[in-house]
């Protein structure tokens, strides 16, 4: 059994009187695809927001490798190798496709503002390198021909791919995808499944996935956590989860 990469324990998030996440526990292992599913409002995105440093959890511990990251802001969480996409695509819509990938790398580049202003060789070198990386990722995602187009003008499926490229270019250890198949057509969904498989195989990344599309979830996940009303109801293999009466009840209401 492979080692834990991300360990979440006793995670609770309260919004006023609402317990959006209630004692959620799970671990994501190295190179694993781990999915969180559950009906609308179950608390899935709130788990992402806590893990990714967008919310400070009410209680609980989040550990990446052996480093506690609970309560760190998202840019610091990213430095631990954990990055995410959003349920609603968030790109710099007025920047070009290529620029979106260059911006993403800046936070991870070693060279600072001073080197940039002085245009020192180290800065020019890293700029050239950043561009090379960006173009490679555009190639990989099949969207290189749109490099100089405004990101907001891309077809929706391509925006989703660009968002994943923007994560991958920072070389994460854990990629968090919040409903990546939403709004995609059946062909694009099949391509997304192949893409997730390829990312974990070729880049060794682990994936934490929130998704409503059952065919994608069952096809791509190693293990699945089912949530309902903020609570974890079962964690298991796809075939275990699919046939669990509690899961069927959560989805069908009886």
Ligand X SMILES: Nc1ncnc2c1ncn2[C@@H]1O[C@H](COP(=O)(O)OP(=O)(O)OP(=O)(O)O)[C@@H](O)[C@H]1O
Q: Which residue, chain included where needed, has tokens 């990446």?
A: 64
Q: Binds 176, which of Mg ion, ligand X, none (CB < 5 to 8 A, cut-off by type)? A: none
Nearest-approach distance from CB 43 to ligand X, in angstroms: 4
Binding test (CB under 6 A) with ligand X, winner from 4, 38, 77, 209: 38
DSSP class of 150 = B
Taking the least distance from each CB to ligand X, the nearer of 84 and 200 is: 84
> Total residues at the site for Mg ion (CB under 5 A)?
2
Question: Rounded to whole angstroms, how far apart are CA atoms 33 and 199?
Answer: 10
Taking the least distance from each CB to Mg ion, the nearer of 135 and 233 is: 233
**Would you count residue 52 as binding ligand X (CB under 6 A)?**
no
Q: Are 178 and 48 in contact (CB under 8 A)?
A: yes
Return the bridge partners of 140, or none.
none
Nearest-approach distance from CB 82 to Mg ion, in angstroms: 18
Taking the least distance from each CB to ligand X, the nearer of 44 and 80 is: 44
Q: Which residue, chain included where needed, has tokens 């695509």?
A: 89
Pull the structure tokens for residue 189: 């969904």
Binding test (CB under 6 A) with ligand X, winner from 5, 6, 35, 45: 45
Burial class (CB in 10 A: 0-12, 13-18, 19+), 111: middle
Give the interface segment with ligand X, choosing from 39-47, 75-83, 100-108, 134-142 (CB under 6 A). Answer: 39-47
Binding test (CB under 6 A) with ligand X, winner from 20, 91, 141, 220: 20
In the bound state, the residue with its beta carbon closest to Mg ion is 45
Q: Binds 42, which of ligand X, Mg ion, none (CB < 5 to 8 A, cut-off by type)? A: ligand X
- Applying the rule CB under 5 A, the residues between 17 and 76 that interact with Mg ion are 44-45
Taking the least distance from each CB to ligand X, the nearer of 55 and 140 is: 55
Question: Rounded to whole angstroms, how far apart are CA atoms 105 and 137?
Answer: 12
Rg of the chain over CA atoms, in angstroms?
Answer: 19
**How far lies 232's CA from each of 63, 148, 153, 173, in Å?**
19, 44, 39, 24
Among candidates 134, 166, 82, which has minimal Cα distance to 126?
134
Q: Are 218 and 238 in contact (CB under 8 A)?
A: yes
**Would you count residue 251 as binding ligand X (CB under 6 A)?**
no
Q: Which residues bind Mg ion (CB under 5 A)?
A: 44-45
Q: Which residues bind ligand X (CB under 6 A)?
A: 15, 18, 20, 38, 40-46, 87
């Amino acid at each position: 059994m492979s080692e834990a990469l991300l360990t979440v324990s006793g995670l609770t998030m309260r919004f006023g009187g609402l317990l959006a996440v209630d004692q959620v526990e799970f671990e994501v292992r190295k190179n694993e695809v781990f999915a969180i599913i559950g009906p609308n409002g179950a608390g899935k995105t709130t788990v992402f927001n806590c893990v990714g440093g967008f919310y400070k959890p009410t209680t609980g511990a989040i550990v990446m490798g052996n480093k506690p990251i609970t309560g760190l802001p998202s840019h610091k969480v990213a430095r631990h190798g954990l990055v995410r996409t959003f349920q609603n695509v968030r790109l710099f819509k007025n920047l070009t496709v290529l620029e979106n990938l260059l911006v993403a790398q800046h936070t991870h580049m070693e060279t600072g503002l001073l080197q940039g202003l002085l245009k020192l060789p180290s800065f020019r070198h890293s700029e050239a390198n950043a561009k090379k990386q960006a173009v490679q990722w555009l190639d990989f995602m099949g969207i290189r021909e749109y490099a100089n187009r405004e990101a907001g003008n891309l077809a929706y499926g391509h925006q989703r791919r660009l968002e994943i490229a923007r994560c991958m270019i920072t070389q994460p250890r854990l990629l968090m995808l919040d409903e990546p198949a939403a709004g995609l057509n059946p062909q694009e969904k099949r391509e997304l499944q192949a893409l997730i498989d390829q990312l974990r195989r070729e880049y060794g990344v682990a994936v934490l996935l929130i998704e409503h599309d059952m065919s994608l979830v069952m096809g791509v996940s190693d293990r699945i956590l089912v949530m309902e009303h903020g609570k974890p109801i079962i964690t298991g293999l796809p075939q275990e989860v699919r046939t669990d009466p509690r899961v069927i009840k959560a989805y069908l209401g009886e």
